[in-house]
Amino acid sequence: MARVRFIGSEPVHVPELGGREIQPDQVVEVPDERFEGYVCQATKWEPVEEPGSKKTAAKSAVKEA
């Protein structure tokens, strides 16, 4: 899973994330295949951890073990 930070000025509900309310400056995990769909909205989201990063890969390896 990749991680993005919401940089909007007011909370938003994100249906793709189970309808959760996301607060300004909150970091959330998003599916790797949807990462670009978030960060292309540069006024609302910023990348924190890209898909396939070492940290993400390490978490996956631990889960599989």
3-state helix, strand, coil in the chain (%, to 5): 35, 30, 35
Q: What is the pLDDT of residue 53?
A: 80
Residue 3's contacts (CB-CB under 8 Å, 6 or more residues apart) are 27, 28, 29, 30, 47, 48, 49
Element (H, E) at 6: strand 2-6
Q: Measured between alpha carbons, how far is 52 from 15 in angstroms, rounded to an integer?
A: 24
The answer to whether the predicted template modeling score (pTM) of the entire model surpasses 0.85 is no
Contact 37, 29 (CB under 8 A): no
The ranges of the chain with pLDDT < 70 are 54-65
